[in-house]
Amino acid sequence: MEVRRRVLRPAPAGEPLKPKQDPHPHSQQQSYLTNAVFFGLFFSLAYFLLHRWREKIRTSTPLHVVTLSEMAAIVSLIASFFYLMAFFGITFILHPFLNYRSSPEDDLDLHIPKPVPTPSCPAALPHHDEDIILAVVSGSIPSYSLETRLDDTRRAALIRRKAVEHITGRSLEGLPVEGFDYDSILGQCCEMPIGFVQIPVGVAGPLLLDGKEYTVPMATTEGCLVASTNRGCKAIHVSGGASSMLLRDAMTRAPVVRFNSAKRASQLKFYLEDPLNFDSLAVVFNKSSRFARLQDIKAAIAGKNLYIRFSCTTGDAMGMNMVSKGVQNVLTFLQSDFPDMDVIGISGNFCSDKKAAAVNWIEGRGKSVVCEAVIKEEVVKKVLKTSVEALVELNMLKNLTGSAMAGALGGFNAHASNIVSAVYLATGQDPAQNVESSHCITMMEAVNDGKDLHISVTMPSLEVGTVGGGTQLASQSACLNLLGVKGASKESPGANSRLLATIVAGSVLAGELSLMSAIAAGQLVNSHMKYNRSSKDITKIGS
């Protein structure tokens, strides 16, 4: 671009320099006044219409039903918009040409090229990997930027790995780096990778659940776990199978907001829990996603702080991001009526995510499932090597009384977290959510005149999904495909994730049955000594 510089003509001797006068001062003042009027008109009308539409949403009035005042406001809004666009838009477009206009007083135009600023870009990367490694070690190249600057995720992982070895002075031999698709985790699963951890995957089953057989993948490094669960699956299968019931499907998020007084906080609590307001809030919440559907709102007060627990369905996704977006929409909507509401955090731990909490044990979070089976007397004796009486007594004293003595929170079971973690790792779930997903109470009772065993597991907060997160990785996707729940359900949104939750509960049922039988029969120690002990010389491995 070129600019024109005006050369001032020297004034005649004895004549003082006079500032150049604007030939149209009145027109400029009128232009400023007109712009101010149209600016005020535009924003006033916009506010009026938004306020009217919000009232229509609250009263369930169709938006296309327009009153005379609203029609006039819409026409005036469009007119003021076109005026402002015409005025400022044309001025902006013509701005480069206006710079070239000259007055009759100009007698010389000098075309001086305008210097083009040099864009600030990172220095070019060295060609050799060894030089890049040294640059990462020295800090001149940030480790996190390697994927972007190299445009090669595998090479970035190799270089970062060698840089880490150089910085720490520790060998990473044994941590594999080849054979993994690093493109699949870029920007969504793991940052700054240097390799991947191998976890063996075993299968237990077939698990006969609700009339269908499932081969359950379990990723674990604990000996006996897969074998024990497999034995439980066998006992369930030969006894006719297990049945499951989905009690609830609702992911939660609970922001914390603060007011200047407890009275104001209680006013919002009453507003949120009033059934007459639920439909309006649901409309605002559900706009965040095609699958998010608000089910319930509960609020709890601590002084002038209010904790609002939103519950919603999330389709086949585990749904944390989905429910968070819906909550943000509602908070924005509420601030028009409660402008003094101060949003402290989108999560106030009343949700409660990745923490053992009574609210999840009582109210549920994610999928709430109960699974049961009746194990025949001969199966208890031949397959499980124990008796119905021994199992019922052990369950009472261990899982119920013993857990109560320990002050357990949701831990009234033998080892539900073992099975939950193994299935979660195999199918790409968030392993940290094993904390609340393992809430489980195991019940055993003698039935059919005391001959057979009725066993059930009740799990109120199984948090699973079949889309998003780690579920799209190749290994985890293969395990989901093995169970027949890969991806989103086309027939019924959410069906795959609900089925996965029941399979997890059925697997926990099998694991509980087998471990409790091993303890009752006195086989636990012998089994672990046989299957969970390494015969390798670890001193040689360490050296």
Pairing of strands 366-375, 293-302: unpaired
- Beta-sheet pairing, 411-412 with 440-447: parallel
- Among 443, 421, 530, 512, which residue's Cα sits nearest to residue 228? 512
Q: Which residues does the annotation mark as catalytic?
A: 222, 354, 430, 528
Report CA dihedral (497, 501, 503, 509) to the nearest 10 degrees: 180
CA distance 426 to 470: 10
Q: Letter for the amino acid at 402?
A: G
Closest CA to 209 of 433, 501, 430, 11: 501
Q: Collapsing DSSP states into helix, strand and coil, what is residue 499?
A: helix
- The C-alpha atoms of residue 56 and residue 62 are separated, in whole angstroms, by 7
Helix, strand counts (H, E) of the chain: 20, 13
- CA gap 484, 491 in Å, rounded: 14
CA atoms of 471 and 487, how far apart (whole Å): 8
d(CA 277, CA 501): 32
- Smallest CA-to-CA distance from 348 within 260, 477, 254 is with 254
Cα three-residue angle 316-322-327, rounded to 5 degrees = 140
- Which residues 6+ apart lie within 8 Å of 391 measured at CB? 380, 384, 444, 453, 455, 516, 517, 520
Contact (Cβ atoms closer than 8 angstroms) between residue 458 and residue 465: no
- Amino acid at site 157: A
8 Å CB contact between 514 and 232: yes
- Side-chain-side CA neighbours of 386 within 13 Å: the count stands at 24
Burial class (CB in 10 A: 0-12, 13-18, 19+), 536: exposed
In one letter, which amino acid is 263? K
Nearest by Cα to 485 from 502, 466, 504? 466
Pair of tokens at residue 321: 């991001």
For residue 524, give the nearest of 534, 516, 535, 512 by alpha carbon: 516
User: Which residues are registered as beta bridge partners of 251?
Assistant: 312
